[in-house]
């Protein structure tokens, strides 16, 4: 596939204890096509390679007691510094952790503007706090729940970022019309949920497509979609709208 842009591709480095988890996801669908087009490149590095003991041990019991194991400072630090030295571009360090700031669309937009991301996927009970303090990464959470490690959240972040790269999607407007993307209104820019979508057949089990979508009036379609976005946002995510505001399409 011919590259769709000439400027340097976004580089994403992923540091993990389970590198085998990533390739099936990163090589499929939009992510795979974006890499083939030269829009993004990534490296997956096994943190265990940087263990300084013969058993490649990267974790130990926590001081103070308690369940689980904690990832040690040295392998994580050495892995980060080694990977960062592979490319002169400064890396935006991101640690996937349930204690981080929420991964929102606005944060994804900010990360997509970086030249290079370095994602650290922790595991077990977490990573020794001392190396986190020294690395000073942006700590990011994908939700108020806990999964077994940072690998799945890292994949979610990569997918969210890559689809914002120009040329990654089949239609340039696709990402800008998704849920949480800004919509210009008379009261300013609002982040709304997406509207419902329909395709053939026009009737399915007694349910029909709204008439406005098949009438051919693009202005009416745009107005209907905006109103649907507003209604869904009010009903499902009223926190996205400031109290008392009722934005309308400009």
Query: What is the three-class DSSP state of 174?
Result: coil
Instruction: Tell me what pLDDT residue 176 has.
Output: 81
Digit-coded pLDDT (tens) for 166-176: 999 977 677 88
Instruction: Tell me what pLDDT residue 172 has.
Output: 64
Instruction: Tell me what pLDDT residue 1 has.
Output: 38
Q: What is the mean pLDDT of residues 182-195?
A: 85
Render the burial of 145-168: b for 16+ CB within 10 Å, e for the rest.
eeeebbbebbbbbbbbbbbbbeeb
- The DSSP code for 55 is T
Among residues 70, 64, 66, the alpha carbon closest in space to that of 17 is found at 70
Digit-coded pLDDT (tens) for 117-137: 999 999 988 999 999 999 999
Contact residues for 146 (Cβ-Cβ < 8 A; gap 6+)? 98
Question: d(Cα 228, Cα 55) in Å, to the nearest integer?
Answer: 58
Token pair, residue 141, equals 């959470």
Digit-coded pLDDT (tens) for 145-167: 999 999 999 999 999 999 999 99
Question: Which are the catalytic amino acids?
Answer: 98, 125, 163, 178
Question: Band of the pLDDT at 51, cuts 50, 70, 90?
Answer: very high
Q: What is the mean pLDDT of residues 34-52?
A: 97
Question: d(Cα 222, Cα 138) in Å, to the nearest integer?
Answer: 38
Digit-coded pLDDT (tens) for 60-112: 999 999 999 999 999 999 999 999 999 999 999 999 999 999 999 999 999 99
Partnered with residue 193 across adjacent β-strands are none
> 């976004």: which residue's tokens?
10
Q: Which domains occur in the chain, in start order?
A: 10-162 (3.40.1280.10), 179-240 (1.10.1270.20)
Digit-coded pLDDT (tens) for 24-37: 999 999 999 999 99
Instruction: Tell me what pLDDT residue 60 has.
Output: 96
Query: What is the three-class DSSP state of 149?
Result: strand
Instruction: Tell me what pLDDT residue 186 has.
Output: 67
Which DSSP string corresponds to 97-148?
Answer: EEEEEE--HHHHHHHHTSSEEEEEE-BTT-B-HHHHHHH-PEEEESSSS--S
Question: d(Cα 212, Cα 225) in Å, to the nearest integer?
Answer: 10
Instruction: Tell me what pLDDT residue 5 has.
Output: 39
Digit-coded pLDDT (tens) for 214-238: 999 999 999 999 999 999 999 999 9
């Amino acid at each position: 596939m011919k590259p769709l842009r000439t400027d340097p591709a976004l580089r994403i480095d992923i540091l993990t204890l389970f590198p085998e988890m990533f390739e099936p996801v990163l090589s499929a669908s939009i992510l795979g096509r974006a890499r083939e087009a030269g829009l993004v490149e990534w490296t997956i590095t096994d943190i265990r390679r940087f263990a300084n003991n013969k058993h490649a041990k990267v974790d130990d019991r926590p001081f103070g007691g308690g369940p689980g194991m904690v990832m040690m400072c040295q392998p994580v630090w050495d892995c980060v510094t080694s990977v960062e030295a592979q490319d002169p571009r400064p890396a935006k360090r991101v640690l996937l952790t349930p204690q981080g700031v929420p991964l929102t669309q606005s944060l994804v937009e900010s990360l997509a503007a970086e030249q290079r991301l370095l994602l650290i996927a922790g595991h077990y009970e977490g990573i020794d706090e001392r190396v986190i303090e020294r690395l000073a990464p942006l700590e990011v959470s994908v939700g108020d729940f806990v999964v077994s490690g940072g690998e799945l959240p890292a994949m979610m972040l990569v997918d969210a970022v890559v689809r914002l790269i120009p040329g990654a999607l089949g239609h340039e407007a696709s990402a800008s019309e998704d849920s949480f993307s800004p919509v210009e209104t008379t009261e300013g820019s609002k982040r709304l949920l997406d509207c419902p979508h329909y395709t053939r057949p026009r009737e399915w089990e007694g349910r029909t497509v709204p008439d406005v979508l098949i009438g051919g009036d693009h202005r009416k379609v745009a107005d209907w979609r905006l109103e649907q976005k507003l209604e869904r946002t009010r009903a499902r995510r009223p926190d996205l709208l400031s109290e008392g505001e009722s934005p309308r399409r400009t």
